[in-house]
Structure 1
Amino acid sequence: MELRTIIIDDEPFSRQELQHLLEEHPELKVIGEANSAEKGLELILREEPDVVFLDIEMTGMNGIELAETLHKIKKPPAVIFATAYPDYAVKAFRLDAVDYLLKPFDEEQLAQTVKRLLQKGHTAKKPSGPGLGKLAVQTEDRILYLDPKNVLYIYREGRDTYIVAEQGTYSSKAALKDLESKLKDYSFFRVHKGYLVNIEKVEELVTWSASVFQLKLKNSKDHVPVSRNYIKELRESLEL
C-alpha cells in the first residue's frame, strides 16, 4: 500500500510540479490537493492522509499555524514543509516536521526526503512476504503469467513498457510506475527514470565515468543504465 499524500500550496504551478515529481516515488500516492491551509485542514480531516506536503506563506492561515493545529487531531499526518522561504526551518523542526524542502524542488533532494520519511517509520502496512501472484503480460492471442523472480529488468521506451525476462522480452501498456508499485514486495529497484531492475540479477556495476554507470545482469548480454541520482541508494541495497 502507498502512503496517502496531500499537497497544500496556494501556487498552482508548485502543486503541479510537486505532484509530477512524486510520480517517480510509488511509495507515495497523491490523493488530493488544496490551495489554502483552511481547505487543506478540511481535506485532512476528511481523508486522514499519511503525509502532507505543506507550503508556509499562504493567505489566511499559514503553514506553520496549520501544522500546530494538526498536533491536536487524533491521527496527525507526517508533515513535510515545501516552501521558498528558508527562514522558518527552526520553527518547522520544532513541530516535528520530517523535512524542509526549498523551492524550486530538486529531484535528488526530494528522493532523500522520501527516504527519510520511510526511515522514520512512516510506512504503509505491507504483507509479511512476497505475494503469490504472477505478472500478467498481454500478447496478441494470450495472457502470459510471469514469475517476477524470473524478470531481469523493465524499461520504458516511447509509449510502451518492455519486460525483459529470462524466457524472452514482452511489451506492456502498463506505466512503469504502476509495475513498480505491483512489484514493491519483490527485489526491484528504480535505477533510472526509465528502468527498473531486479537487483537479485545484478552481477556487476560498471563505472564508465564519474556520472555514467551501467549494470551487467546474470544470463543477459544487456547493460542497464544507472542514473547518478540513484547510484548511492542502489549500492546501499546491493552491498553488505
Structure 2
Amino acid sequence: MKRIRVVVVDDEPYSRDEILFLLGKYQEVEIIGEADSGEKALGVIMRKSPDVVFIDIEMPQMSGMELAHSLKSMKKVPLIVFATAYPDYAAKAFRVQALDYILKPFDEEQLEETMLLIKDRLIVKETPNEKIVVSSARLAVEDEGKIVYLSPNEITYLFREERETMIRTTDSQYSMKMPLKDIEMKLKNHPFFRTHKSYLVNIDRIEELIPWFNGAYQVKVEGSTEEIPVSRNYVKALRERLEL
C-alpha cells in the first residue's frame, strides 16, 4: 500500500494538532512535515515533495493563498486542501485548483470525504515488479459558489471561448480558466481527442462523422445538436481511433 505523504501548515498550534491527530487515524497517511507559517512551509515542501498539503488560509506574512500560488511553480505540484475557519474563500480556493476545502472546527465525516477524494486522485495499483500511481483526473469546476467534480465520462466535449474553457456534459455546461491544453494533459489517460485547435472531444460520445469541405469533417456527440469541427489534419487519426 502506497503511503500518502502529507505536510500540514497552520499558524495555530491547537488547530494544527487537531488535524494531525485526525489524519493520524488513517494508516495510509504519513505525516512528513508541519509548519507554523507559509515561509517555513515552503522550505519543508520543497525539500520533502509531499503528495498532499493541508494549508490554513489566514496566516501572517505569507497567507495560505500566497503559499498555494507559490507551489504551482514546483515540478511536482502537491494536492492542496485548504483547512480554514472562513467559508468565504471557496471561490478563491477553486481558482488555485485546490482539491478540497474543509472548515474548522474539523468534522471527521468531512475529513473522510476529503480523504476519499485524495485516494481517488492517488490510486495505487501494484504489479509484481513495480507500483504505478494513476490519477483519476476528475475536473473541479465552479458552479454557483460550489465546487463540482466531473468524471471524464460525464464530459462530451470541451472548447475554448475567448479566455475561458467551456465544458459540456449531456445536460449542463461549465466554464473554467484553465487552458484547453492543460485540461488535455489531465485527460490524457481517457478517450479524448483534439479535433481542432479549440475543441477536445470524448470519442466514446461521438455519434456521427460528417464530411464538410476541403477534406475537413464535423462530428456530432450524444445529447448535442452542435456540429463540432474536425480539422483535415486530424481526420485520419480520428477515424483510426473510432473504427474497428
- Give the TM-score taking structure 1 as reference length: 0.51
Deviation per CA, 1:88-140: give whole Å up to 9, x if none: 11010111111000000000000000001122x224x45237xxxxxxxxxxx
1:9-48 to 2 correspondences below 5 Å: 9-48=10-49
Partner of 2:238: none
Partner of 1:122: 122
Partner of 1:96: 97
1:62-77 to 2 correspondences below 5 Å: 62-77=63-78
How many residue pairs are counted as aligned between the two chains? 127
Deviation per CA, 1:62-111: give whole Å up to 9, x if none: 00011011111111110000000111110101111110000000000000
Tell me the CA shift for residue 55 of structure 1: 0.3
Q: How many angstroms apart in 1 are the aligned matches of 2:28 and 2:101?
A: 19
Q: How many angstroms apart in 1 are the aligned matches of 2:25 and 2:44?
A: 24
Say what the alpha-carbon RMSD is for the aligned residues.
1.2
Q: How many angstroms apart in 2 are the aligned matches of 1:14 and 1:45?
A: 23
Q: Which runs of 5+ in 2 are unaligned?
A: 129-244
Which stretch has the larger CA shift, 22-31 or 12-21?
22-31
Paired residues of 1:54 and 1:63 also in contact (CA < 8 A): yes
1:48-197 to 2 correspondences below 5 Å: 48-119=49-120, 121-123=121-123, 125-128=124-127
- Give the TM-score taking structure 2 as reference length: 0.50
Counterpart residue type for residue 122 of structure 2 = H
Tell me the CA shift for residue 61 of structure 1: 0.6
Q: How many angstroms apart in 2 are the aligned matches of 1:9 and 1:97?
A: 16
Q: How many angstroms apart in 2 are the aligned matches of 1:104 and 1:97?
A: 19
Identity of aligned residues (%): 52
